[in-house]
């Protein structure tokens, strides 16, 4: 097609309009007479041949594409532009486990507030689950900490789907932030400590996060860490309270940061958050994920989370060898009771490491590792032991018979407690896992326990009237203590007490002047 000048195009337009208004048979003659050039005449004739017909094929192509577009459209987009309470939904900010997370804003005459809105599409929205949901929401709404994104509000959409309104946080996940902004281990540890402080604050308010992961720990432009979705995982999981946690609750957590007890459907506690924090610390310091679940079947998830030990942090970054390696590995131990007792303990160890003081975390003892290995490979170990046993039997017998018994020798001294408080003034008893003793705390004596590996002592409260307690013994089943405490006048009753209920019951009165010492075994065997 020729390139027309503006004037020629206008001329063409007029000729076309005038010719089109004429009956078909008159058009050719008109163009012969009216067109100044043969080129223009050919062009107008060609256009007239295509005139008086719509673009039907184009129209149907457009309709087909529109239908396809609708077919593919994201159902989450339907909320965009909708008002939820005083908030107008603006855009999809991301996708969470339960559906889309939206960015919304509240426009008041006074100020404009930006919020995140999370839809909660649980399976059954029965009145009882909704009531529990509201109660939990109330508890979470009271959690106020500068490093925890506030839960502001909640409600239900027109379709009855509950939603949560949260502080909108713009930032990058802690792992990405560390990569870009925090060079060096110490800087990363200090950021991590701020996160621990916030988690510990929530724990002291009896709220466990349950789904800590880098995506839930954002660092804002000014370098402030903000924890998102505190306690939301529990809120979203009606099974958590009503029927106990089941395997159906698997999709609610992020397997890459889940703790073994979550995968097994066991009780979730502060130790669960310790584990996830350990994984995050591992990742921020080594640059590698500690736990990576590739499949989604419960069996795959369980194998990775419950059985696979990640490579030692020091194996990936040699400068982490020692304290930090021990700290991380203690936080991510598979058994909750063998991790740090609290996030504060974990933070305390990191703080001590930063200050160059000795830390609590120790490598697993050899005996533990042997026992664990044996548990994992039970048949093989049994067979090996049988062979070894028969081989060695004769040797050992010969050795025993031939050598006099050796005197015990002190192999190692381990500092058990670090609180600086007076401990174990009376007896010290053990159930093999923890040492129990008395401890002077705030002018009063209490019972206290500490792991046999050492660490932080945790006090076991005693009733008010319990003066000057002495720990005498522990029952063979490790369920009760035998204690004495000052009674009236010269009396010194003998008590039995379970460390769990800490309500002692008196078993007999024992006068110090008496030479009669009750036989503990008799007491223990009575119900």
Partner 1 sequence: MQSGDFTVLLQRWANGDKQALDALTPVVYAELRKLAASFMRHERPGITLQPTALIHEAYLELATGAPPDLQSRAHFLAVAAHVMRQILIGSARKHRALKRGSGNRVELQDDVAVPAQQCEELLAVDEALERLAERDARKAQVIELKYFGGLTREEIGVALGLTLPTVKRDLALGEAWLRRALGGSVAEAQA
User: By the criterion CB under 8 A, which residues form the site for partner 1?
Assistant: 4, 9, 13, 16-17, 20, 46-75, 77-81, 91, 107
Catalytically annotated residue among 107, 108, 159, 211: 211
In sequence order, what E strands does 190-291 have? 217-219, 225-227
Minimum gap (Å) between residue 106 Cβ and partner 1: 13
What burial letters (b/e) apply to 389-417, b meaning 16+ CB within 10 Å? eeeeeeeeeeeeeeeeeeeeeeeeeeebb
Distance CA 517, CA 510 (A): 8
Of the two residues 35 and 350, which places its CB atom closer to partner 1 in the complex? 35
**Residue 211 known to be catalytic:** yes
Query: Helix, strand or coil for residue 80?
Result: coil
Sequential DSSP letters for 134-203:
HHHHHHHHT---TTBPPEEEEEE-TTS-EEEEEE----EEHHHHHHHH--SHHHHHHHHHHHHHHHHHHH
Query: Helix, strand or coil for residue 220?
Result: coil
> What residues have CB less than 8 Å from 45, skipping those under 6 apart?
27, 28, 31
Query: Helix, strand or coil for residue 306?
Result: helix
Of the two residues 108 and 464, which places its CB atom closer to partner 1 in the complex? 108
Minimum gap (Å) between residue 78 Cβ and partner 1: 5
> What residues have CB less than 8 Å from 76, skipping those under 6 apart?
92, 95, 99, 100
Minimum gap (Å) between residue 251 Cβ and partner 1: 23
Of the two residues 52 and 415, which places its CB atom closer to partner 1 in the complex? 52
Of the two residues 16 and 30, which places its CB atom closer to partner 1 in the complex? 16
Distance CA 116, CA 468 (A): 55
Of the two residues 161 and 193, which places its CB atom closer to partner 1 in the complex? 161
Of the two residues 6 and 465, which places its CB atom closer to partner 1 in the complex? 6
Minimum gap (Å) between residue 300 Cβ and partner 1: 24
Asked if residue 435 lies in contact with residue 428, where contact means CB atoms within 8 angstroms, the answer is: yes
Catalytic residues: 211
């Amino acid at each position: 097609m020729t390139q027309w000048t503006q004037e020629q195009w206008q001329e063409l337009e007029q000729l076309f309009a005038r010719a089109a208004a004429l009956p078909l048979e008159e058009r050719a003659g008109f163009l012969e007479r009216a067109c100044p050039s043969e080129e223009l005449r050919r062009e107008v004739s060609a256009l007239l041949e295509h005139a008086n017909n719509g673009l039907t094929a184009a129209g149907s192509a457009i309709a087909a594409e529109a239908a396809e577009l609708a077919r593919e459209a994201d159902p989450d987009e339907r909320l965009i532009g909708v008002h939820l309470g005083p908030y107008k939904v603006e855009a999809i900010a991301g996708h969470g486990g339960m559906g889309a997370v939206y960015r919304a804003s509240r426009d008041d005459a006074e100020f404009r507030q930006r919020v995140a809105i999370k839809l909660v599409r649980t399976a059954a929205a029965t009145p009882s689950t909704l009531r529990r949901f509201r109660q939990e929401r109330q508890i979470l709404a009271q959690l106020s900490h500068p490093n925890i994104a506030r839960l502001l509000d909640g409600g239900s959409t027109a379709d009855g789907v509950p939603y949560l309104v949260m502080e909108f946080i713009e930032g990058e996940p802690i792992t990405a932030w560390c990569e870009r902004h925090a060079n060096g281990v110490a800087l990363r540890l200090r950021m991590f400590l701020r996160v621990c402080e916030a988690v510990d604050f929530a724990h002291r308010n009896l709220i466990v996060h349950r789904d800590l992961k880098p995506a839930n720990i954002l660092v804002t432009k000014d370098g402030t860490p903000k924890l998102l979705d505190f306690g939301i995982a529990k809120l979203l999981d009606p099974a958590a309270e009503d029927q106990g946690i089941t395997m159906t609750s698997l999709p609610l957590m992020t397997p890459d940061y889940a703790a073994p007890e979550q995968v097994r459907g066991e009780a979730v506690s502060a130790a669960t958050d310790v584990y996830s924090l350990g994984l995050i610390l591992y990742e921020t310091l080594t640059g590698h994920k500690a736990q990576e679940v590739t499949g989604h079947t419960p069996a795959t998830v369980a194998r990775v989370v419950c059985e696979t030990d990640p490579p030692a942090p020091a194996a990936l970054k040699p400068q982490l060898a020692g304290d930090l390696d021990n700290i991380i590995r203690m936080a991510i131990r598979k058994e909750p009771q063998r991790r740090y007792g609290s996030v504060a303990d974990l933070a305390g160890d990191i703080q001590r490491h930063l200050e160059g003081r000795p830390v609590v975390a120790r490598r697993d003892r050899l005996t533990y590792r042997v026992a664990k290995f044996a548990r994992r490979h039970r048949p093989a170990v049994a067979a090996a032991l049988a062979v070894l046993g028969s081989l060695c039997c004769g040797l050992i017998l010969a050795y025993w018979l031939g050598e006099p018994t050796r005197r015990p020798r002190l192999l190692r001294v381990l500092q058990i407690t670090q609180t600086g408080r007076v401990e174990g003034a009376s007896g010290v008893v053990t159930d093999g896992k923890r040492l129990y003793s008395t401890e002077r705390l705030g002018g009063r004596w209490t019972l206290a326990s500490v792991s046999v590996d050492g660490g932080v002592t945790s006090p076991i409260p005693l009733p008010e009237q319990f003066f000057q307690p002495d720990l005498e013994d522990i029952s063979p089943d490790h369920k009760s203590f035998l204690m004495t405490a000052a009674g009236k006048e010269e009396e010194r009753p003998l008590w039995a007490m379970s460390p769990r209920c800490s309500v002692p019951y008196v078993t007999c009165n024992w006068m110090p002047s008496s030479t009669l010492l009750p036989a503990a075994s008799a007491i223990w065997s009575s119900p």
